[in-house]
Amino acid sequence: MDIKKRVKNLLSQIPEGVILVAATKTRTPEEVLEAIEGGIEIVGENYVQEAEGKFKVIGKRVKWHMIGHLQRNKVKKAIEIFDMVETVDNFSLAKEIDKYAERKRIIYPILIEINSGREEQKSGVYPENIFSLIEEISKLKNIKVEGLMTMGPFVKNPEDIRPYFRLTREIFEELKGKDYPNVEMKYLSMGMSDTWKIAIEEGANIIRVGTLIFGPRK
């Protein structure tokens, strides 16, 4: 099955109101263009440098989400390419985004990445620190927190990811009840090629899918 067909097949299975982000790490601009022809409207990239090359070919034909860890020294370039950063997990990164957003006179949308499995080697804020971080970020004028994102730990059985998605959803719901300025809990980004169905069951309205669209990585 070609990429275009795979996208159409996937879109036909996704409930209304759920956004599909094509995770395009290591994929060529040609492959990404084929996915766009199939109906992809948002491209998710893990690295600014890799996104730059593809952006030159594809441009603003689609929206771009940063779905990998963003280093502070790459923020200026990232804001030129990406329409949203899904992976903010500390105040200094948020402050840097705010600085460049102010220069561009825009309000820049971000998601806060939660390390739902509390894994030391992974980025993301630990669940118990999310409220204080959001409170701090909410004071920045040129950023809008629009939701949460989580990866969850790597699991062999997709069902095992459910508690981590559920925890993230619970925090999302709790944050909805808070009245922080510049914070609106709209998006819950969870789930990848093997876990997207469970993610939707647990409340995700953004899923990030690569392998199911493009086939296994070379």
Residue 205 tokens, joined: 């309205």
Judge contact between 150 and 165, C-beta under 8 A. yes
Region 105-114: mean pLDDT is: 98
Region 138-155: mean pLDDT is: 96
In a 3-state reduction of DSSP, which class is residue 136?
A: helix
Q: What angle do CA 61, 142, 170 make, to 5 degrees?
A: 85
Which residue segments constitute the domains of the chain, with CATH numbers given? 3-214 (3.20.20.10)
Q: pLDDT tens digits for 5-50? A: 999 999 999 999 999 999 999 999 999 999 999 999 999 999 999 9
Of the pLDDT bands very low, low, confident and very high (cuts 50, 70, 90), residue 218 is: confident
The pLDDT score that the predictor gives to residue 217 is: 82
The pTM score is 0.96
In a 3-state reduction of DSSP, which class is residue 45?
A: strand
Judge contact between 155 and 193, C-beta under 8 A. no
Helix 130-137 vs helix 162-176: angle between axes, to the nearest 10 degrees? 40
The pLDDT score that the predictor gives to residue 1 is: 74
Region 70-95: mean pLDDT is: 98
Judge contact between 200 and 207, C-beta under 8 A. yes
Judge contact between 167 and 127, C-beta under 8 A. yes
- Return d(Cα 2, Cα 19) in angstroms, integer: 21
Q: pLDDT tens digits for 160-185? A: 999 999 999 999 999 999 999 999 99
217: phi then psi, degrees, rounded to nearest 5: -65, 140
Query: Which whole-number Å values give the CA distances from 147 to 5, 200, 217, in the listed order?
Result: 31, 15, 29
Helix segments in 29-120, DSSP class H: 29-38, 48-58, 75-81, 91-104
The pLDDT score that the predictor gives to residue 101 is: 98
The yes-or-no verdict on residue 71 having pLDDT over 80 is: yes
Judge contact between 120 and 83, C-beta under 8 A. no
